[in-house]
Every structure is written in C-alpha cells, then in structure tokens.
Amino acid sequence: MTTKIILDTDPGIDDAMAILFAEANPDVELVALTTVYGNAEINTSTRNALYLKQRFNFACDVAKGASGPLVRDPVGASVVVHGENGFGDVPLEEPSIEADPRSAHQYIIDTVKASPGEITLVAVGPLTNLALAIEHAPEIASLVKEVVIMGGAFGTHEHTGNVTPFAEANIHDDPHAADIVLTANWPVTVVGLDVTHEAFFSSQYLDTVRDTCGDIGQFMWDISRFYLAFYKERMGVEGCFVHDPSAIAYVINPALFEVRKGPIRVVCDGPAEGMTLQKYRETKHKTDEWKDKPAQNVAIAVNDRALLDLFLDSMTHYASEQ
C-alpha cells in the first residue's frame, strides 16, 4: 500500500538523497516537502527543495517553514558538512517555481485535516515546524497516521551524539521543539544515530549509484563529493553514514528495523542540551518526568544490507522508467 508522506526537511545533501529515495520508491507518495532551517538557512533550504522539484519534475508541493528554533539561540547552518549552498557547492540554477503561500506548519495542519488518518509526517531536520503544527492545532495528533523522525541518539552501540558528545544535530538545533514533538500524543518512531551510524554508503556504493541510476544517481554523486570530503577529514572514512534516507527506509519497510518502546524526553539546556533519553523500563520513582508521556518507538537495530539494497533498487528502477 502506498504511504502518503509530508517530508519536513533541511536540504542538505543526505536530505536530497532521502527526497529522491521517497520520490523514486513506488510505495511512497511524496505529497509535499516542507522546509526548515538546519543544514542551510531557510531561504537556501527552500530554494534547494524547489530546485529538486523543478529539475526532477516532482508533483509534490513545497512549503517554506521556520527560520530558527523556538527558544534557543540558532546554532547556524552546517556549512562545513553541506557547503555554502547546502548541496556541496555544486552550482545550481535558480528555480523559476515558487513555494506554496502557506507556512510549512499551516500546510501540515491543512493537509492532515484534509486527509485524516492518511498522512505520515517524516521529519529529517530540526523539529520546529512539527512543534508549531501541533501547538497551533493539537487536534492533528489523532489525525496523523504516523510521525517518523531522523534525529536523536540513545546510546545503542555507543552512538550518543554527532554535534556534541551527547546530542544529534537535528535535536540539538531545537531541543524545545523536539521535546514537544516527542511527548505529543501521536505515534512517533525515532530513527536516530543508533541505527543511522550502523548503515554506511561507501564511496564504491555511491559510484554504483552514479553508474546505474541515471540523472538522479549522477546528481547524488555530484553533491556527495563535499560530504565525503567532510567524512574523510573528520572521521577518516571513505563514505558516509545513512542518516535521512533511513527514515524513508523505515516508512517503506519498518521490518528492516528493531524498535524499543518507551516515553522520550529531551534535555533542553546545559552541557547535555539536545540529548534524547528514553525510559524503557517499568521502574517507579518519586520524580519521573517520563511518567504519563506516550510510549514512542526508538529504532535500535537495522538490517543495513537490506536497507542499502532497497535504496539502490528503488533508484535503479526509477531511473529505468525515466
């Protein structure tokens, strides 16, 4: 069955991979890209979403979202990881199409209400738009099919953080928004570093994507040169972890992942700000800030080989039909 998704994103190199994966896979209907600051500032991430829509003829809407976090001071764009233009500084033509006039959070509210029970929200950037949507229209909690988030790190396999020792980038960018989204009464699955650091696009794998996936494969290869240089310089590896595409893989085939249930809270200030903590044991405490919060899913294991096969198969099949 096809899953309708709104993909909330800060494109971003791995965001572009996730967007193209979603567009390519026939089990996903990409209803919209809603944009958020993060890897790039909001005008750049929105331009990049519009660029992808125009260049690859997506039918989806694009709606521009938040330019900064709810409470904390902005962290600033991840230029060192994604380049000045968010797409690895590959030259891009300015798109001639425009975004939907509504803000991203209003677009999310309207679309979820128009199709109750049908829309899965997939968020692969800071969670500001989703927090604004649920704050402005709490009734959408019961109307959303599912919320899938790339973000957070819960310490499985010792994966505890990437932008600080104990925080993942998307959550660290707006911990207050993340705490709102993760404690809201809607069904959330978090696909964090616990699993995204267990799947790896090697340089050779990306060469295969370039050689077998037509225009989208070449584009992914081009923009990922900058990303791979960052990984090599920072971690000494030849390739990159599979962050945002993993959230799409979960939507297509949740059986690729093992999940653990329990309520989640986010540390909102201090040295551990952005840290995500799941209470997954039934212990009793005099003080318990997890008590009465809904149990959510955290992905703790992934079939990485099957995920890589799914990604490549989706892309090659799509390319063969263009």
Site track 238-277 with Ca ion (rule: CB under 5 A), x = hit: ------x---------------------------------
243 is catalytic: yes
Torsion of CA 154, 159, 164, 167, to 10 degrees: -20
Bridge-based pairing state of the strands 264-266 and 239-241: unpaired
What binding mask, one character per residue, do residues 123-162 give for ligand RIB by CB under 6 A, x or -?
A: -xx------------------------x-----------x
Residue 12 binds Ca ion (CB under 5 A): yes
Q: What angle do CA 173, 80, 162 make, to 5 degrees?
A: 50
Structure-block tokens of residue 99: 């975004």
For the bound state, the minimum distance from the C-beta of residue 199 to Ca ion, rounded and expressed in Å, comes to: 15
Distance CA 101, CA 248 (A): 26
CA distance 225 to 182: 34
Question: Does residue 10 have an active-site annotation?
Answer: yes
The CA-atom distances, in angstroms, between 134 and each of 6, 38, 121, 149, 201 are 15, 20, 12, 15, 34
DSSP E strands, 48-163:
61-63, 119-123, 146-150
3-class state of residue 261 by DSSP? strand
List the interface residues with ligand RIB, window 213-252 (CB under 6 A). Answer: 243-244
Q: Which residues, 12 to 51, sit near ligand RIB by CB under 6 A? A: 12, 14-15, 38-39
Residue 86 binds Ca ion (CB under 5 A): no
**Annotated catalytic residue: which of 176, 194, 243, 244?**
243
- According to CB under 6 A, which residues from 258 to 287 bind ligand RIB? none
Which phi and psi (to 5°) does residue 243 adopt? -80, -85
**Minimum gap (Å) between residue 290 Cβ and Ca ion:** 27
Residue with Cβ nearer Ca ion (82 or 293): 82
**Catalytic residue (one of 10, 14, 15, 179):** 10
Question: Where does this chain bind ligand RIB (CB under 6 A)?
Answer: 10, 12, 14-15, 38-39, 124-125, 150, 162, 168-170, 243-244
**Residues involved in catalysis:** 10, 243
